[in-house]
Amino acid sequence: MRTKRIKGIKFGLLSPKEIRKMSASKIITADTYGEDGFPIEMGLVNQRIGVIDPGLRCKTCGGRMGECPGHFGHIELAAPVIHIGYAKLIYKMLSATCRECGSVLLEDAYFLFSVSDTELEHDLKREIISEKWHKEFGDNGFPLSTNASITKEKNDEWTITDKELFIIRKEAGKLNVYDAGEKGRFLNDIELGKGKQPGVGEAVKRMFKEAAKHTVCSHCGDHLFDFAADARLENILNKGEDVISKELRRQFATEGHALSKNPSIKKETDNKWLITDKDKRYIVKKRNGKLTVDCGTPQRVIKFDKPSTYIEIDEKERKRRLMPSDVRERLEKIPDEDIALFGMDPKSARPEWMILTVLPVPPVTARPSITLESGQRSEDDLTHKLVDIIRINHRFMDNRAAGAPQLIIEDLWELLQYHISTYLDNEIAGIPPARHRSGRPLKTMTQRLKGKEGRFRGSLSGKRVNYSARTVISPAPDIDIDEVGVPEAIAKELTVNVNVTERNIDLLKETVRRGNEHPGANYVRRADGKKVKITETNYETLAEELDIGWKVERHLRDRDIVLFNRQPSLHRMSIMAHYVRVMPGKTFRLNPTVCPPYNADYDGDEMNLHVLQTEEARAEAKILMAVQHNIISPRFGRPIIGGIHDHVSSLFLLTYGETKFDREETLEILKGIDIDDLREPAGTFTFRSEVSGLRFEDSHLTSHISHLTPYWTGKQIFSMILPAGLNLQFQGKVGGVTIRDGNLETGVIDEIAVGSFKGKIIDRIVRQYGEEAAKKFINDLARLATNYILRAGFSFGISDEDIPREGEQQIREETMREAEHKVDELIRAYEAEELEALPGRTVEETLELRIMETLGRARDEAGSIAERYLGIENAGVLMAKSGARGSLLNLTQMAACVGQQSVRGERIKRGYRGRTLPHFKPADRSAKAHGFVRPSFKEGLSPTEYFFHAVGGREALVDTAVRTSQSGYFQRRLINALLDLEVKEDETVRETRDTIVQFKYGEDGVDPSACEYGKVVDIDEIIKDVMAGTGA
């Protein structure tokens, strides 16, 4: 296939001529529908500009509703009106052009010298700056450098770019050399800026700024006389104001332009001066070493009175309003050559087209009316606005025809301007928005396009999707990890399209017969393509009629495959394929183990569900997007799905020490897990005393135990969900873990073993036994953990952080007192100038560091004192040690000491002069004055401590807010850059044109999700494996 590349896009303005040409109808009536119920001719809902009523035909193209795309109409405006979107640009153009001739107020190109020589011309045609040309330029006083370059602009015109910009034109057989002047230089900058950054816009901006500086037009004035320049004269001119020397006077007088008593001199730009003498304006310019004098048209200051008024202020500070018609006249005068200076092309955008004289009326199809239930018609906001415009337009014309006073005409003009401005944009600063009768602001042109719900972001970049649902999520630990619980109400709304074949016709007949009752259907599509809704009245007959070749849109059912997604979709695990499980309730249910890949929790998160509609999509989803396929994250090559929170706590409890369970309990813990037979019990209870030795006693358990009752240990129970033959050894959070032949022999199951992001056991099962086995393991693990923690019970509260009085006392009276004493000692040493600076630090920095260190150590010490009183039986410690949730630091802060609060890694020092809060004396360097929080959270914080804690906490909050937005944007840019790179069969990475980006994917061709820790082979593991197989 031939591919074409878009070279550029050109934007232009609609000219009045074009607007009339594309118009299918002139609109003169503000009414829409007549009494007969048909659209009125030449009205706003006009049969020539599109049809929205069924049954009618378009009078322009003959199409019916849906076929006719609609056609534009037009309104002839009674008076010109400013297009509000261009108001600012119009102001800039007015300020930059001459009020007389319309030329841009910049210096034109001016003649330097001329030559006639065929050889020189030949060189030009070959675009070479020959020796001869160098000589010519040099002789005329414009030596060119060796860097000078030549370009052909058009026939018989060339430019030479050096430090200066020269234009060479072939005119009347001669080659005339011009200096490009300000205009030429800006034109060149604009031309060079095309397709670049900052480009045209920046150059045009500079041009406007420069042009507006000029107060006299040098284009439409006459050239008066020249005189030789010398440094003295220049100096006089530069001194400016009111210093007109005799010499200068004499020069003027001899040329017949005698100056009056006190003319003023002003420097306008480099090498350009302005002499104002009564009503005369002389422009003195330095050119080719001469001073030339021109007279020019004085310009007036134009003020832009937002949103759409222009006021001209004359020399005597008199103000005059420029009506849109005046503005239009001025813009019309701007010559075509100068329009390029605005960055516009005069063929497709003349400035005067920014003043509206005729208004295009969008087709009715772009502003359809809606029929309410009451049969009343409700028109679109745009139609309402157009009605207003037409009404005022009429009133304007009537009043003018009747010869109404100027004041009334101006008022109506203003009103017309208001309506057209709000029609284009209803959110202009300084204009009250046009409102609907109900008081709601109208949604007009700009509002349709702008913002999140506008045409671009709302309808083009993002659209609403069919066959999708969204609701709150909640946990369901009893469903499989690759399932999703779908509320019945949603299952009845979402449908799957099924073709009726001879193999499923009976089943589908049954489905249709059920009608709108759950596993039923909503629609059938007959063989001829007609879609029929299944209702309570027709389901019987439709079920009867159902035939091969029909299609049925049946309800979502158990085991249907769907895509499940949570935003932001940052990695591929954000969208995975799940199997449906229709459930009562109103929320989507998902197994808590799949929360990490989605980054979901249940504090009100909502998720989306998409029903797949084709067999190909279903197959692809099943193979590529299934949950089990995404257990290992390609991001870090480890499981991202695994036990979380209570799963970890539970399995830790179960496997910690020698927990024993009788048959009944064992079965209860293994409830819901597919295990054929229990393994051999570990033994029988022998002494009653053994029961009391249980770590987590259970009174119900002790009552029926006799010495013959067999028991299973927690480790054994956990082993029952491990695949047979699994050998694994690793370092857990509390000691080594050994699994031999599918038996947990030693060690405790913790986060490292089964947790998400770590999950050594899961990792191994995926690699050795496959995804399916891993899925089963995670399912079993979640059930086992839930069952056990339900039995064992697990709670945590404030009182769990109680430590005995002596502990508290020790922290307060020993650790803290000691630390504070040390800090005081450091401060004393500092003040006595005895403190020795650390290498590369000032003494002050050293003091701060030492204080931080001392207090940090004090907090840790307090923590370890508290820890002595809190053993593993403490739920908080258990969670921290097993990795289920929280850390020992959290516990320390709750039980012993919150510690130093910091901002940017330093003690808090901001606040008042010399102190953080008025509660402290200035220059107090003590621990408590700079954010050290002595007590624990449980003890409670004093007001100043609370404040410091909030100061420190805010930093964390701001950091996360900034980080998420920044990394989000980085991610987006990265994705857009790498979007269509692909790894090909030969392991090269290529982009769409098959251009190579990498010769081997990632230099080594390794898929991180298929190897251990980025290594292609894990030798240690293989050796361990071999040893386990042959040795023991």
Partner 1 sequence: MKKEKVSILEHGLVPKHEIMGAEEIKELLDKYKIKREQLPKIKLSDPVIKEIKADAGDVVKIRRQSRTAGKALFYRLVIE
Q: Is residue 628 within 8 Å of residue 774, measured between CB atoms?
A: yes
Choice between 120 and 1011, CB closer to partner 1: 1011
CA distance 82 to 414: 10
Give 76's strand partners: 358
Per DSSP, helices labelled H in 481-593 are 488-493, 505-514, 539-545
Which range, of 267-275, 755-763, 1002-1010, 1023-1031, touches partner 1 by CB under 8 A? Answer: 1002-1010
819: its two tokens: 């630390």
Choice between 253 and 997, CB closer to partner 1: 997
Choice between 407 and 977, CB closer to partner 1: 977
Which range, of 127-135, 144-152, 262-270, 1000-1008, touches partner 1 by CB under 8 A? Answer: 1000-1008
> Residue 607: which H helix or E strand, with range?
strand 606-611
Site string for partner 1, 951-990 (x = CB under 8 A): -----------------------------------x-x--
Cβ neighbours around 560 below 10 Å, total: 20
DSSP single-letter state for residue 54: T
Q: Is residue 188 within 8 Å of residue 200, measured between CB atoms?
A: no
Angle formed at CA 1028 by CA 1027 and CA 1032, multiple of 5 degrees: 105
Q: Is residue 379 within 8 Å of residue 386, measured between CB atoms?
A: no
Which range, of 105-113, 341-349, 755-763, 1004-1012, touches partner 1 by CB under 8 A? Answer: 1004-1012
Q: Is residue 220 within 8 Å of residue 297, measured between CB atoms?
A: yes
Q: Which of 847, 819, 853 is nearest to 833 (CA)?
A: 847
Choice between 11 and 1013, CB closer to partner 1: 1013
Least Å from the CB of residue 960 to partner 1: 31
Least Å from the CB of residue 1006 to partner 1: 7
CA distance 475 to 497: 30
503: its two tokens: 């193999």
CA distance 398 to 413: 13
Number of helices followed by number of strands (H, E) in the chain: 33, 43
Half-sphere exposure of 852 (CA within 13 A, CB side): 15
Least Å from the CB of residue 1004 to partner 1: 4
Choice between 912 and 999, CB closer to partner 1: 999
Choice between 602 and 999, CB closer to partner 1: 999
Q: Which of 922, 968, 1002, 1029 touches partner 1 by CB under 8 A?
A: 1002
Least Å from the CB of residue 149 to partner 1: 17
Choice between 311 and 1011, CB closer to partner 1: 1011
Least Å from the CB of residue 1001 to partner 1: 10
Choice between 601 and 1004, CB closer to partner 1: 1004
Q: Which of 997, 1010, 1026, 1027 touches partner 1 by CB under 8 A?
A: 997
Least Å from the CB of residue 573 to partner 1: 23
CA distance 58 to 969: 48
Site string for partner 1, 707-736 (x = CB under 8 A): ------------------------------
Least Å from the CB of residue 988 to partner 1: 6
Q: Which of 330, 492, 365 is nearest to 64 (CA)?
A: 365
Which range, of 132-140, 266-274, 950-958, 994-1002, touches partner 1 by CB under 8 A? Answer: 994-1002
Q: Which of 1006, 1009, 1012, 1025 touches partner 1 by CB under 8 A?
A: 1006
Least Å from the CB of residue 996 to partner 1: 6
C-alpha to C-alpha distances, 874 to 311, 751, 790, 891, nearest whole angstrom: 81, 18, 17, 11
Choice between 321 and 1000, CB closer to partner 1: 1000
Q: Which of 868, 874, 867, 891 is nearest to 696 (CA)?
A: 874
Q: Which amino acid is at 85?
A: G
Window 1007 to 1026, contacts with partner 1 (CB under 8 A): 1014
Q: Which of 994, 1013, 1030, 1032 touches partner 1 by CB under 8 A?
A: 994
Residues whose CB falls within 8 Å of the CB of residue 109, separated by 6 or more in sequence, listed in order: 167, 178, 179, 180, 181, 183, 184
Least Å from the CB of residue 977 to partner 1: 15
Choice between 825 and 1004, CB closer to partner 1: 1004
Choice between 36 and 985, CB closer to partner 1: 985
Q: Which of 371, 518, 1000, 1007 touches partner 1 by CB under 8 A?
A: 1000
Site string for partner 1, 492-531 (x = CB under 8 A): ----------------------------------------
Least Å from the CB of residue 1007 to partner 1: 12
Least Å from the CB of residue 1017 to partner 1: 13
Q: Which of 684, 121, 657 is nearest to 130 (CA)?
A: 121
Choice between 579 and 1001, CB closer to partner 1: 1001
Site string for partner 1, 547-586 (x = CB under 8 A): ----------------------------------------
Q: Which of 7, 993, 1013, 1031 touches partner 1 by CB under 8 A?
A: 993
Q: Is residue 694 within 8 Å of residue 791, measured between CB atoms?
A: no
Least Å from the CB of residue 5 to partner 1: 15
Which range, of 279-287, 667-675, 725-733, 997-1005, touches partner 1 by CB under 8 A? Answer: 997-1005
Window 758 to 787, contacts with partner 1 (CB under 8 A): none
Q: Which of 138, 999, 1010, 1020 touches partner 1 by CB under 8 A?
A: 999
CA distance 107 to 219: 7
Choice between 36 and 994, CB closer to partner 1: 994
For 982, list phi and psi in degrees, rounded to 5. -140, 145
Choice between 793 and 1002, CB closer to partner 1: 1002
Least Å from the CB of residue 993 to partner 1: 7
81: its two tokens: 């009106």
Q: Which of 996, 1010, 1023, 1027 touches partner 1 by CB under 8 A?
A: 996
Window 107 to 166, contacts with partner 1 (CB under 8 A): none
Least Å from the CB of residue 8 to partner 1: 23
995 near partner 1, rule: CB under 8 A: yes
Please state whether beta strands 174-179 and 290-295 pair in parallel, antiparallel, or not at all (unpaired). Answer: unpaired
At 971 the three-state DSSP class reads: helix
931: left (phi over 0), alpha (psi -120 to 50) or beta: left
Give 64's strand partners: 57
Q: Which long-range contacts (CB under 8 A, 24 or more apart) does 669-675 make?
A: 669/717, 669/784, 669/787, 669/788, 669/791, 670/717, 670/720, 670/784, 670/787, 671/783, 671/787, 672/478, 672/783, 672/787, 673/720, 673/721, 673/780, 673/783, 673/784, 674/776, 674/780, 675/720, 675/721
**Cα-Cα-Cα-Cα dihedral sign, residues 854, 855, 860, 866:** positive
Q: Is residue 597 within 8 Å of residue 590, measured between CB atoms?
A: no
For 549, list phi and psi in degrees, rounded to 5. 100, -15
Window 627 to 656, contacts with partner 1 (CB under 8 A): none
# binding residues, partner 1 (CB under 8 A): 15
Q: Which of 4, 1003, 1031, 1032 touches partner 1 by CB under 8 A?
A: 1003
Least Å from the CB of residue 441 to partner 1: 54
Contacts to partner 1 by CB under 8 A: 986, 988, 993-997, 999-1000, 1002-1006, 1014
